[in-house]
Every structure is written in C-alpha cells, then in structure tokens.
Chains A and B, each alone.
Chain A
Amino acid sequence: MKKVGLIVLILVAIAGITGLFFWFQPTAKIADGNADFTLSIEDLVNEGIETNDSLFNSKYVDKVIQFSGDVSSIKIDDSQSEIKLDVNTDETVIVRAAFDPSQNIDLQNIKERDSVTCQCKFNGISLPDDPDDLLSEIIVSFSRCSIKK
C-alpha cells in the first residue's frame, strides 16, 4: 500500500514539474530548425495575391520560411531590429523581417542592396481591402528572423 502511495506521489511530482516547465518556458527568440518552406519572396507574395486569403494563411502563417531577397533598408535597434526587402512585382509591397537584438551581430555588416537569405516565422500578408485605404501597400510580416549564410 505504501509502495502505491509512493508511486502516485512520484507521478504527481513528475506531472507538476512538467507543467511548471511548460508554463515558464520562454518564447523562442529565433525560428530555428528546418524551414517548413523555402521559396523566393516574389513567389510567396504572388501566391498571397492570387490565392484565397484563408487558404494562403492556413498554409503559411506561423510556419518557418526561408527566403532570399535584396535589402531596401535596415534598422539595428536594442529592442528589435528590422530589414525591409525589395520585391519585384507590379504592386507596392513592403516586406518586414524582424530580428531579436541577439541577432544584431549578424546584421552589422549588411547594407542596403545586399542580397540576404533569412529564416523567419511568417506572420501573414495584408492586402489593402479598399482602393481608398491610406495603407495602399501589400505588407508581408516576418519575425524571429536569423540570417542564413
């Protein structure tokens, strides 16, 4: 009987420690591991424009994507750094790739017009829903990025 009580106590302790581990697990700073998709930024944007919103989002949002492109601007900051990329499409597109400050060392030598390969978590594409929108651009957002060499 004592033995059963001890086993139950051990199981409860393991469950408690596991629960606490998951509860206090910090948010990942970069989207590491293998990419779910590797494609050009133009292909992703064109698919976003042509495909039904909900199909596109359920396929890509929150997935890890590796993509290449040319840098149009770079901002290195202590709270969050960001690279914007050029996209060759007929539409005006802003691609925003956000980096945790821990990645700043890899960003220091990047300049405008450099070609870079990034791996990031994809946060979605937003298309203007009204021709009179002040935000008339297509906005593509990534976060937890890292530079792939």
Chain B
Amino acid sequence: MKKYSIILLMASIFFVGAASSQVYKSTDAHIRFVSKTDFEEFEAINHQPTIAFTNKGKVQFRVPVNSFEFEKKLMQTHFQENYMESSKYPNADFKGSVIEPENFKLKDGEQEVKVSGVMKMHGVEKEISATGTIQKNKNEVVMSGNFDVLLSDYKIAIPKNNINQISNRITIHFEAKLEPKKSK
C-alpha cells in the first residue's frame, strides 16, 4: 500500500511539473518607437514596460503610456494629451504567444520567433504579430524584436496640420532581460 502511495505521489509531481509553466519577469526592459515622414523623424523611449513570458511561449507586456520620454516637451505634451489621451487610457497592453516555431519550448541558445496576439491601446483592441529573437543563457532570458502599428487602427487621429510631421505608421522596437519569477 505504501509502495502505491509513493508511486502515486511521484506521478502527481511529474504531471504537475510537466503541466505548469515557468514564468519569467522583466528585470530591465525598454520600448522605443520611431515616427518617420519625409519632413521629420522623431523617437521616444520608455524604460518602464513590465513583461512576462513563459517557457511555453505565452507573453504579456504592460506599458505605462506616460513613461514615454521625448526630447521636446511640446511633443510629449501633444503625445500624452491629444493623441494617446493618457489620463483616460494610461496603459497599453499586449497578450499573445509564440506561433512560430510551432509548439515552442524555451531552450538554451537563440531562437527566432514570431509572436501573435492582441494589443490594447487607446481603448482599442487589435490583433498584431511581431518577429524577434529569444535568447536563453542559464537563468536569464533576453528578448528583442520589432513591429509596426498604424495609429488609425487605434483611433489615434493626427491633426491635419501635423500630418507632415507624424507618420501614421509607427515602428516599435523592444528589448528586455527577464529572470524566473520569484515566489513571494
């Protein structure tokens, strides 16, 4: 009877271990966006995104919109108040998972990946995909990548007199270092 109990216990530990995911959380991350038109190019950087990732390829980003820093004060004010309405929509979120390679599993070394999911920004949800790399070295995971978004998809209107300065297509670059989540 004792023997069966030990086998049952070992089997439970094995199955629970196989089913649960290791969650990694960002310790250092930044997101940079670039707007480029024939007349003007500018960028803003945000050092405060929080990113979570599992060894099975689930990923989530949360980005406080007001943490984007611009070089010019006037641009920052317009971005926050007029375009992103950040007091109404203070965060941008992304939830998705690795779709390429299929049945992704995190392993040591570098892997090229395609991630797909839903981004919520300015109160609008939209399906997006991004390409990037995930690199695992012992306990540290580094992810980086980029993708484009159209401001019009998120109901962010550019005033007519700024149409030459701000591109409707914004390129977003991200890079993050992650470590296994510590239990509290």
Residues of A within 8 A of B (CB): 22-28, 54, 57-58, 61-62, 75, 79-80, 82, 92, 94, 96, 98, 121, 123-126, 133-135, 137, 139, 141, 143
Q: A57-B90, A62-B80 are in contact. Are A82 and B47 (CB under 8 A)?
A: yes
Q: Which of B58-92 contact A (CB under 8 A)?
A: 58-60, 62, 64-67, 69-74, 76, 80, 86-88, 90-91
Residues of B within 8 A of A (CB): 23, 28, 30, 47-48, 50, 52-54, 58-60, 62, 64-67, 69-74, 76, 80, 86-88, 90-91, 95, 184
B71 to chain A, nearest CB (A): 7
Of listed A26, A124, A133, A134, residue having the most chain B CB within 10 A? A134
Q: A123-B48, A123-B64, A126-B64 are in contact. Are A25 and B73 (CB under 8 A)?
A: yes
Cα separation A75 to B95 with both chains bound (whole Å): 27
Contact in complex: A23, B47 (CB < 8 Å): no
- Which residues of chain B are near A26, meaning CB under 8 Å? 71-73
B55 to chain A, nearest CB (A): 12
- Which residues of chain A are near B58, meaning CB under 8 Å? 134
The 6 closest A-B pairs by CB, nearest first: A124-B90, A134-B52, A123-B66, A141-B64, A123-B64, A80-B47
B89 to chain A, nearest CB (A): 8
Contact in complex: B48, A23 (CB < 8 Å): no
Of listed A62, A94, A125, residue having the most chain B CB within 10 A? A62
Cα separation A79 to B30 with both chains bound (whole Å): 10
Contact of B72 among A25, A61, A62, A133 (CB under 8 A): A25
Q: A27-B72, A27-B76 are in contact. List 15 more A-B contacts (CB 8 A).
A: A24-B72, A54-B88, A61-B66, A61-B86, A75-B28, A79-B30, A79-B47, A80-B47, A121-B66, A124-B64, A124-B66, A134-B59, A135-B60, A141-B66, A143-B69
Q: A62-B66, A143-B48 are in contact. Are A23 and B60 (CB under 8 A)?
A: no
- Which residues of chain B are near A125, meaning CB under 8 Å? 90
